[in-house]
Amino acid sequence: MIRVVVNGADGRMGSEVVKAVTADAELALVGGVSLTHVGEDIGVAAGMQALGISMGNNLAAVLDTCHPEVAVDFTTPDAIYENAEICLTKGVHMVVGTTGLTAVQRERLGKLAAANGVGLFIAPNFSIGAVLMMRFAAEAAPYLPNVEIIELHHNNKLDAPSGTAILTAERVAAARKQAGAAAAPAHTQESLRGARGATVEDIPVHSVRLPGYVAHQQVLFGGQGELLTLRHDSLDRKSFMPGVLLAIKKVSGHTGLTFGLERYL
């Protein structure tokens, strides 16, 4: 049994992780840290205490009390860097789902993990379907170099384009470049600004924001007389749990930084 602490255990994602870890026979939930500054207490803390599981507001104290092997972090962009420093310094492997770390910060934390002999796993998306979509997009790009991306989310999502869309565009562009494949030139002029979307590495990205949507993305490839479309729909946060559980089980075997769930597939 791998001993697990969930940081942000009463957040939207963290509370799903609490349930998923508890239900997994290979994992033992030994502690949680509250996300009280966001004020999303949704009954998890009380439930965990009823089960005899430590639940606190101070990450370092919870780690010292519970002695986990792995800490899972679903907190906030402003807290994640410090959280990671605390865990890695104490020799705890980390699985990070919190967004907001820059590439430079990831590298620095990766060195800290390596120096302490532990694994640091960071992923922008824990859904296996989304990871496959990105992999297939990169595989198709050398053969069908003309690509656009449409991502569709609920109207409460604060940013556009989504992190997954940007990452997809970067991987497609890299694969295309490595293969020496080039997109056909475009002959279109915008008569209204924004019609042709944002541009990430020469790839147009379009962001739809409407109530009703959850998290969806389409990668559109156009060729001579044919179209290839990859589409991923996340309809429930449960879709991220298989990826989180997989990462918890694998992280101790990979010292230093690992970025992206596809590295463990």
Give which of 166, 176, 157 is closest to 206, Cα–Cα: 166
Active site residue 153: yes
Dihedral sign from CA coordinates of 17, 99, 164, 26: negative
| CB closer to a second copy, 108 vs 136 | 136
Q: Restricting to residues 135-154, which ones interact with a second copy according to CB under 8 A? A: 135-136, 139-140, 143-144, 146-148, 150, 152, 154
| CB closer to a second copy, 52 vs 189 | 189
SS3 state of residue 52: coil
Q: What one-character-per-residue DSSP string does 203-226 give?
A: EEEEEEE-TT--EEEEEEEEETTE
Active site residue 90: no
| 227 contacts a second copy (rule: CB under 8 A) | yes
Q: Minimum Å distance from CB 56 to a second copy?
A: 27
| CB closer to a second copy, 34 vs 125 | 125
| 241 contacts a second copy (rule: CB under 8 A) | yes
CB-count exposure of residue 233 (10 Å: 0-12, 13-18, 19+):
middle
Q: Restricting to residues 87-146, which ones interact with a second copy according to CB under 8 A? A: 127-130, 132-133, 135-136, 139-140, 143-144, 146
Q: Minimum Å distance from CB 139 to a second copy?
A: 7
Instruction: Please tell me the distance from the alpha carbon of residue 231 to that of residue 37, in angstroms, as a whole number.
Output: 36
Q: Restricting to residues 56-85, which ones interact with a second copy according to CB under 8 A? A: none
- Residue 64's alpha-carbon distances to 68, 145, 200, 250, in angstroms, are 9, 52, 44, 23
Q: Which of 37, 93, 111, 153 is catalytic?
A: 153
Q: Which residues are marked as active site?
A: 153, 157
